[in-house]
Amino acid sequence: MMLCMPMMLSAIRVHTIGDSTMAEYDENTTDKRGWGMYLGSFFDPAYVTVNNRGKSGADTRAFYTGAAYWASLKTQMQAGDYLLIQFAHNDEGTVTYGMDNLEYAAFCQAHGLPAPTDARGTNPQTTYRDMLRAFINEAREMGVTPVLVGPICRAYFQGNDIKRNGKHDLGDKFSKIENDVLYENQSLPAGDSTMSYVKAMKVVAAEKDVPFIDLTEATRQLYLSYGETQCLSLLFCEGDKTHTNAMGGNLVARSAAQLLKNAGILAEYINIPTDITANPGTIEIGETYCGVAQNKEFLLTGYGLEPASGTVALRATGNLQISLDKTNYAETAQATYNGGSMFQKVYVRANYTAGGEQRDTIYATSGEHVIAVPVCATAISLEGGAAVSATWAIDAKPVPEPVVTGPISAALTMSNMMAADTKSDFTDGDQTGITMVRFHNSDATGAKVAWPAGEIDENASRYLDFAVTAPEAMDVRITGISMDLAAHSTSTMCYHVNTGFGEGFTDVQTIDEKVNMTNLTIQHLSLTPTLTIPAGETLHVRILPWHNLGEAKSGKYICVKNVVISGQAFEAQPVEGVEYIQQPTVGSQKIMRDGQLLILRDGKIYNAVGQELK
């Protein structure tokens, strides 16, 4: 148990805010890895922990105004903490580059043009700076030390350098509004940094006397050291010049840690290892269901190793198995390295048969050097629950209501999406002529509009939302989320499937991702996330599509069918300290009466399945 304790004992927290290049990703969902996922391994865990709050698709304003992001993070920060701030990728915009999106929306309204459905985009001279100032001011008010971090480069190579826009300077192509006229495809001389987000961040850093670490320049040098071909194949996701894979994310985090150390920021707690190390040093699975396998991963890394070649023996204990190829799992494995460098993914599979706290370990041995990687989990039994499910067939337009079993309620809503029609030309293996409903991008009124150009990530305001609400006195443990998805009239449709809770869509997780779907071919998702819907609360499962093309296009569709959310409902556990309440009061709360857990809401009492009691 003590192996999993250091993170809980740490006194200093480093909070990271930014976009998808920093964000957390599920190893089972995608090969993307944000650099914030690995930063914590370069700190001494006995003193410092990293709370990575990077968010896919977020620009500075969206992160600041979103209830699930900045407002939520402020409840986690306290005096003595540090805040690393890295934004720019989404601030550059996707509809008009380098413009404040609200300014552009007002222009469209005034001139009778369609309102933009993508709310991302800030100007580096105005809104972007203002948002950085807001993060800095509010962090300082709480006694938190802010640090501005230059956004990592995109791998946009041009000869022996990175292109101007790869370094977040839009001087070669941007838009502006002057005297109520929209000017597009504008440019500036190479030495003019007016449209540089990195320069704007440096100006704010100097103005507010805030440390600035130039991760933009550090990643430029990192990419160039590999060269274009090796950089793209080794450090980035396939076909993607923005998002790093595990190796890229690890090297970027290493660069960030070195820059912090060089700047004297938490330097005494930063360790840049020269031996083989595990990243992360502890695997926290959290809650998981008995009998449902959980897959995780960690990295074995080393640079400038002596001897220059060698072998690492791996051994797993207890409920764990390991693999080096994500196919063949066993209790032991052998990893080798050459050339003085090691970069090896180790895949971990945990499957628990008994409930309760679980503590297992993976040992990596190289000569006399032994690394212990603790794996910690809380296993939850699913015995004794009542089966619940919500099924959306989505086999016709208008979309039928869901079929619900058990004491839950369910609903489908759409935002900036519309059900267009049905088509019967889809294939599923050997089957052909399958019918699916096609969904298209829309404006706020539900009218069909073109997919914007240049989107490389989700738009948080465009989605299909499948919601399941637990009864007032029962917790619902989700055991499966499944659906059929396809693209129509395009091979560049992409999506995320995200989960979140309540009206604020908090505790967001990306549980599936697909880039460039195969046209007309149905793919079946069958996911087993560990999610518990507390009594009376709502889980949202959102499909967030975007069209990954360099020009605006209409007539491109994502198609959805057979969405099923299933689980087990259990009587909610009594809240410690809650006693029987004699007189009903206005509001909603759990009460105990004659040893039975009940719900008191608006002067009425309900049992565990939501039936009113007299």
**Residue range 444-470: average pLDDT?**
92
Total structural domains in the chain? 4
Q: What is the pLDDT of residues 489-537, one digit of tens each?
A: 999 999 999 999 999 898 888 999 999 999 999 999 999 888 999 999 9
Give 101's Cβ-side CA count (13 Å radius). 19
- Distance of alpha carbon 154 from alpha carbon 89, whole angstroms: 9
Check whether residue 302 and residue 422 sit in a common domain. Answer: no
- Backbone Cα Rg of the chain: 25
**pLDDT of 10 over the 80 cut:** no
**Structural domain harbouring 203:** 2-269
- Distance of alpha carbon 115 from alpha carbon 480, whole angstroms: 37
Check whether residue 372 and residue 470 sit in a common domain. Answer: no
Q: Give 460's DSSP letter.
A: T
Q: What is the pLDDT of residues 556-586, one digit of tens each?
A: 999 999 999 999 999 876 555 545 444 444 4
3-state secondary structure 309-349: CEEEEEEECCCEEEECCCCCCECEEEEEEECCEEEEEEEEE
Check whether residue 149 and residue 137 sit in a common domain. Answer: yes
For 472, counting Cβ atoms within 10 Å of its Cβ (0-12 exposed, 13-18 middle, 19+ buried), the class is buried
- The domain that holds 331 is classified in CATH as 2.60.40.2310
Place of tokens 């396998």: 293
Name the H helices within 121-269: 127-141, 197-208, 215-226, 228-235, 246-262
Check whether residue 579 and residue 545 sit in a common domain. Answer: no
Check whether residue 566 and residue 583 sit in a common domain. Answer: no
**pLDDT of 353 over the 60 cut:** yes
- The domain that holds 111 is classified in CATH as 3.40.50.1110
Check whether residue 225 and residue 319 sit in a common domain. Answer: no
The confidence score (pLDDT) of residue 580 equals 45
Check whether residue 418 and residue 563 sit in a common domain. Answer: yes
Torsion of CA 128, 129, 135, 141, to 10 degrees: -160
Q: Check if the beta carbon of residue 550 is closer than 8 Å to that of residue 456.
A: no
Q: How confident is the model at residue 96 (pLDDT cuts 50, 70, 90)?
A: confident
Check whether residue 86 and residue 188 sit in a common domain. Answer: yes
Check whether residue 117 and residue 237 sit in a common domain. Answer: yes
Q: Which of 240, 269, 298 is the last residue of a domain?
A: 269
Check whether residue 608 and residue 520 sit in a common domain. Answer: no
For 214, counting Cβ atoms within 10 Å of its Cβ (0-12 exposed, 13-18 middle, 19+ buried), the class is middle
**pLDDT of 484 over the 70 cut:** yes
DSSP characters for 94-110? SSSTTS-HHHHHHHHHH
Check whether residue 396 and residue 449 sit in a common domain. Answer: yes
The confidence score (pLDDT) of residue 583 equals 43
Q: Check if the beta carbon of residue 319 is closer than 8 Å to that of residue 282.
A: no
3-state secondary structure 377-420: EEEECCCCCEEEEEEECCCCCCCCCCEEECCCEEEEEEECEEEE
Place of tokens 């999610």: 531
